[in-house]
Amino acid sequence: MKPSSAMGLMAGLVTALLCCAPALAASGVPIDGVLSEPRSALRVNDWTLSTAALDALLRVVREHKPGVTPSQVVTAAAEDRVLGGYARRRYDEAKLFAGERVRFSPQASVEASLATTLQAAFREPLAKAMGPAEGYIVKRHPLTRERLVALLDRGGKLRLDDRLPAARAAKLKDLPLIDGRVGAQSYRITLYDVWERQDVQGRDALYRFDAGFAMQQARQLARDRFTLGWAAQNSGLGVAGVEQLRQLVADRNRRNALARLLGSGEDTHYSSPEVERLRRNVEAGAIRKYYDSHKAEFTRTDKVAMRSMRFVDEAQARAVADQLSKGARFEDVMRRRGVARWVDSDAARRSWIAQLAFAQPPGPASPPIREPEAGTAAPGWFIVKVDKRVTGLHPPDSETVRFAASEAIARQRAASNFAGLRARLLSEARIEVNPAALGVRTAPKLLESGL
């Protein structure tokens, strides 16, 4: 698969609904009123989710989780709208999606996810409308490597980032790749459209002047553009329903980005400024309390009992390794050339073979390993076997404990703060539901989170 060709397979809104929400306290969504309009399923302040849009989401979600209820999807949508709206008002995209430059842009992610969701929701009628041979494509404009060179070649200059100068962007907008049609509506895919839908790998492919890749991406964009147009015209969603789903996808992305920014996201490798702020303020008493109740997290290897054999060349080492693999006992083979010893952490800091022993689990012997070169002597080959590992605990006042415990405590506090923010925002929002759309007689006072 070429770089970025997986763009069309990006997880749609359904995947986000199923598995990508930030971890939150198990509290529900308060309901403030009842909708009487039969075509409206949910209203959050002045935003409405139609019953047609809810039905589309349900069809897709139930392919993965057949037991999902309308109430669960409505709950997730309400949370996304409220938290995503807060993120939209509180932060600009540069801060909200900081560190995302190597990935797809927020807009590209929204459009690809929306198209994927619609394609899953209306698979059969959409496939029939598309036809067997991309009949929605009216014309393909040829693209050559030479043309890409003329547009994107930087003349050997170092590329510090992928942002296009305005003049270069205008030239890409003027280069058509595909003309398409959905119903009576025509559309055009340009090289700039392709550029905007790429991550760093895809843009790197364009900078390598891969015309085939550019056209493949243009075909994917043409398919997605047809999907959106067909859904607006023929699915029952209408233009408004498609836009509702687009807004919901964008709000889910913002909600997840907000959770990461505030330290409550699932990705613990993400560097959250809020977690860093909280970590700096963790008290020594809290660190000691965490250490006392999570000692299993602070184990370390104090020493290992190891045996090793050294060989002058690889052939000898391979021959002995073969004997061991066929059942020869390590102690029998090593009598002629090996040593046995205990090594501790101090030795591991000084000796490469001790470091290897600390990293190797007890049990089978290692494969032959070439020792590092040192001086003029020819390096030999080693086989190492660890017989026993003695573990202990890092001291409670060690830097290892201080850093790990303060990080864990900061993330706990960040998650608690985020749950509090969520509860406050939901209580301040006006959320109304249509009982008929939820399949119930009367609207509940509280919708329980369940996705």
pLDDT of residue 9 exceeding 70, the answer is no
What's the rounded mean pLDDT across residues 119-139? 94
What's the rounded mean pLDDT across residues 361-385? 90
What's the rounded mean pLDDT across residues 138-148? 96
* Residue 196 dihedral angles phi and psi, to the nearest 5°: -65, -20
Distance CA 444, CA 434 (A): 10
Task: Single out the residue of 101, 12, 21, 15 nearest to residue 265, CA to CA.
Answer: 21
The tokens for 72 are 């669960």
Distance CA 191, CA 377 (A): 59
Q: Which of 35-39, 163-167, 185-189 holds the top average pLDDT?
A: 185-189
Residue 26 binned pLDDT confidence (cut-offs 50, 70, 90): very low
Question: How do residues 73-96 score in pLDDT, each as one tens digit?
Answer: 999 999 999 999 999 999 998 888
Residue 335 binned pLDDT confidence (cut-offs 50, 70, 90): confident
User: Could you give the C-alpha distances from 106 to 86, 275, 294, 437, in angstroms and in order?
Assistant: 16, 23, 39, 31
Residue, of 301 and 16, whose pLDDT is higher: 301
pLDDT of residue 160 exceeding 70, the answer is no
Q: Which of 102-106, 160-164, 204-208, 263-267 holds the top average pLDDT?
A: 204-208
Question: How do residues 256-296 score in pLDDT, each as one tens digit?
Answer: 999 999 998 777 677 889 999 999 999 999 999 999 999 99
Question: How do residues 166-213 score in pLDDT, each as one tens digit?
Answer: 999 999 999 999 999 999 999 999 999 999 999 989 999 999 999 999
What's the rounded mean pLDDT across residues 43-47? 95
Q: Which helix (H) or strand (E) holds 261?
A: helix 238-261
So what's the pLDDT on residue 409? 97
Count Cβ atoms within 10 A of the Cβ of residue 50 and give its class: 0-12 exposed, 13-18 middle, 19 or more buried.
Answer: buried
pLDDT of residue 440 exceeding 80, the answer is yes
Distance CA 213, CA 193 (A): 14
Residue 301 binned pLDDT confidence (cut-offs 50, 70, 90): very high
Distance CA 10, CA 136 (A): 22
One-letter identity of residue 148: L
Percentages helix, strand, coil for the chain (3-state, rounded to 5) are 55, 15, 30
What's the rounded mean pLDDT across residues 368-381? 87
Task: Single out the residue of 324, 366, 371 nearest to residue 352, CA to CA.
Answer: 371
- Indicate the average pLDDT of the chain: 89
Distance CA 50, CA 82 (A): 17
